[in-house]
Amino acid sequence: MSTFIKTKNDTKEVFRKCGTCSRTFAYLLNREFDHPKEHEERALNPLAGGIMNRGYQCGMLWGASLAVGGESFRRNKKREQAIAIAITATQHIMRSFIERSQTANCKEIIGYDLNSFFGMAKFMLKVTLQGMNKSHCFNLAEQWTPEATQAAIEGLSDEQAQTKQKSVSCASEVVKNMGGSDEEMVMVAGFAGGLGLSGNACGALSAAIWKKMLDWCWENPEKDPPFFNNPATKKILKSFNEVTGSEMLCSNICGHQFTNIDDHTKYINNGGCKKLIKVLSET
138 found inside a domain? yes
5 found inside a domain? no
268 within 8 A of 185, measured Cβ to Cβ: no
Quote the domain boundaries for residue 93: 11-282
269 found inside a domain? yes
- 127-177, pLDDT tens digit by residue? 676 766 778 899 999 999 999 999 999 999 987 766 656 899 999 999 999
CA atoms of 150 and 96, how far apart (whole Å) = 9
107 found inside a domain? yes
2 found inside a domain? no
6 found inside a domain? no
pLDDT band at 8 (very low <50, low <70, confident <90, very high): confident
pLDDT of 115 reads: 78
For residue 110, is it left (φ>0), alpha (ψ between -120 and 50) or beta? alpha
- 15-27, pLDDT tens digit by residue? 999 999 999 999 9
Helix 274-282 vs helix 231-244: crossing angle, to nearest 10? 160
DSSP state of 225: P
CA atoms within 13 A on the CB side of 91: 22
Q: How many domains does the chain have?
A: 1
Three-state secondary structure call for residue 77: coil
C-alpha of 2 from chain center: 25
- 175-186, pLDDT tens digit by residue? 999 999 999 999
3 found inside a domain? no
206 found inside a domain? yes
